[in-house]
Chains A and B, each alone.
Chain A
Amino acid sequence: MDVSLLIIQTLNGLQLGLLLFLVASGLTLVFGILDFVNLAHAALYMVGAFICATLTYALGNFIYAVIVSLPITAAVGFVVERFVARPLYARGHLDQVLATFGLILVFETLAHMIWGPAGIAVPLPPALDGQTLLPGAIEIPTFRLVIIGAGLAAAGGLFWLVNYTRLGMLIRAGASNRTMVGALGINIQLLFSLVFALGAALAGLAGMLIAPITEASIGMGNSIIITAFVVIIVGGIGSMKGAFIAALLIGLIDTLGRSFLDDLFGLFMSSDAAENAAPAVSAMLIYIIMAGVLAFRPQGLFPPKVR
């Protein structure tokens, strides 16, 4: 096994894990506080990427585009909360799933109408576009390091926001007992809208960060949203800590599984059999792990204490 390949793939896994955390944290925040299952989170991820792509060309710089796109994506989330999510809070999860499924269709078609059927590539500024030399003569695209840095910064910011600010205190209180928070004179409606907008901005940020690598495209959110669901199931729905740990775990396992599973299988079966089995198993690996976790802990690894 090649050590530098192992380091590169570990960094790639970390990058995937942090992107997953950005998507999953919004999902788990909205579910924990609003008791609302939001499939359309995938659409917000896509919307973030498309808005950022457009603004990159309009403003001429990817970084400015991200800064301007964040509040716009949050605003989209705010509007979605007001007109689609709010009437559904009192309904069952089934209705929420179906309505937000419809919302995905609406958003994807709107994106198709506005931006066309093809994906939009997002150019990076020269400073971020090259390779960075790590110790041990390992070359890695600079932008991947930027994603890791931005993901860690966002996670840290979120941790600070939830644990050390007044808004965060209200969010935690709302997750424990929203009726009580409302009774104490807090504008719970506004709190919900803000949480939803925050989740949208986080999903949008993940979309913006991945866009220069994969380009902004319709349906880009559909694969990551399922993985994000796996993350919050494994972590425990509603738990921010669980989402963070599970996201890194899933990101690393998925990436490392895809590159090293055939070597691992080669240790105890013929190399032909290993080559045939490895792709199938590595594609299903995170689901197998999810099943394993749920078989022993149906509430996930870190279930929130009060629900």
Chain B
Amino acid sequence: MERISRQDWIAIIVLALLAVLPPLFLSMGQSFWMDLATRLVILAIAASSLNLVLGYGGLVSFGHAAFVGLGAYAVGIPAHHWLYGGMDPIATTNGFVQIGLAVGVCALFALVTGLICLRTRGVYFIMITMAFAQMVYYGIVSIEEYGGDDGLVIDSRSEFPGISLDDPLQLYLLAWASLVVVVVLVRMIVNSRFGMVLKGGKGNEQRMATLGFNIYAYRLVAYVISGAICGYAGALLGNFTTFISPEMMDWGRSGELMFMVILGGAATLAGPILGATVFIVLEEALSSWTVYWHLPFGLFLILVVLYVRGGLTGLLSGKKED
């Protein structure tokens, strides 16, 4: 039995709270909070996938919003063709096909771009991941059939036997269960031999190379896993919002995902979840208070980066990161 660390406990407590509180709000007729919690949990999955490469791998990807967007379009495009005809092989509302498509397309995109991105280091990597995400953004914008700039309405959510995603509670529980699976998966990965090599590459790439590890290959696999999970989050987000647009993969969205990870604490299990929670709640509170909410929000971001090392998890577990 592996030791359960203080950080794991934080993750367990946060996940438990997320399991209990939102359905409670819903039973009290507060569907608004349910919506907020659904978005939060889905973004926490995306942030966790980013954390795998950014936090544990030290690979600062500034393009993860592209995976979210591709995942969402992998739900929207088949549903669109199912309704309006054309592209028969993928025209379906079958959830398994759509999710499979989302995960597959994102894994492939991560593989192809990762092959090029991972040849670069440091600031090159940041900028090239951002540029590839922007490439997808402009690509989708230029396809008029899928709404271009205006986006696409998903008329029919993914269909699974036995569950209906049209029911907010069932959608939420699916998202929550997915988050639990992703957190467990990330924990298994980072504690495995594979994860040790990945973390070793973050600490000292040259040493790992000298020890005989092909760190490039390890990073590529981590990048593909991360992209696939993020695409899954995108598929859930598409089902939640039922409206998708290229704006979902704007570089600002990528920046927000990075901020969630750093805010909550990079390279910690609970970090992305805590970060997403504080991010969503703060965004909601500030934007209902003033239209100029980006001003305090931007200042908050700057102050967090300047003064909160190790993120919220670092503060809670009393351990300094780095």
Q: How far is the CA of A58 from the CA of B60 in the complex (A)?
A: 45
- Check: B279 CB closer than 8 A to any chain A CB: no
Shortest C-beta distance, A249 to chain B (Å), equals 15
Q: Which of A93, A95, A237, A287 contacts B135 (CB 8 A)?
A: A287
**Residues of chain B contacted by A98 (CB below 8 angstroms):** 255, 258-259, 262, 301, 305
Residues 97-118 of A contacting B (Cβ, < 8 Å): 97-99, 101-106, 108-110, 112-113
Given contacts A88-B306, A230-B131, A233-B128, contact A294 B119 (CB under 8 A): yes
A93 near B301 with CB under 8 A, answer: no
Q: Which of A31, A37, A222, A232 contacts B251 (CB 8 A)?
A: A222
**Residues of chain B contacted by A112 (CB below 8 angstroms):** 292
- Check: B294 CB closer than 8 A to any chain A CB: yes
Given contacts A87-B306, A237-B123, contact A294 B128 (CB under 8 A): yes
Shortest C-beta distance, A248 to chain B (Å), equals 18
B residues neighboring A (CB under 8 Å): 54, 60, 62, 113, 116, 119-124, 126-128, 130-132, 134-135, 138-139, 141-143, 251-252, 255, 258-259, 262, 292-295, 297-302, 305-306
Given contacts A98-B259, A105-B297, contact A93 B134 (CB under 8 A): no
- Check: A5 CB closer than 8 A to any chain B CB: no
Shortest C-beta distance, B112 to chain A (Å), equals 9
Interface on chain B toward A: helix, strand, loop, or mixed SS? helix
A290 near B294 with CB under 8 A, answer: no
**Residues of chain B contacted by A109 (CB below 8 angstroms):** 292-295, 298
Q: Closest B-chain residue to A99, C-beta based?
A: B305
- Check: A167 CB closer than 8 A to any chain B CB: no
Known: A97-B60, A97-B62, A229-B130. 20 other contacts (CB 8 A): A91-B305, A93-B126, A94-B54, A94-B126, A98-B305, A101-B252, A102-B297, A103-B298, A103-B302, A104-B298, A105-B298, A112-B292, A113-B295, A226-B131, A230-B127, A284-B135, A284-B139, A287-B135, A294-B119, A298-B121
* Interface residues on chain A, size class: 35 or more
**Residues of chain A contacted by B295 (CB below 8 angstroms):** 105-106, 109-110, 113
B139 near A94 with CB under 8 A, answer: no
Q: How far is the CA of A110 from the CA of B298 in the complex (A)?
A: 11
User: What would 23 A/B residue contacts be, using CB atoms closer than 8 Å?
Assistant: A37-B123, A37-B126, A93-B60, A93-B122, A93-B126, A94-B54, A94-B258, A97-B126, A110-B295, A226-B130, A229-B130, A233-B124, A279-B142, A280-B139, A283-B142, A284-B135, A288-B135, A290-B128, A291-B113, A291-B132, A299-B120, A299-B124, A300-B124
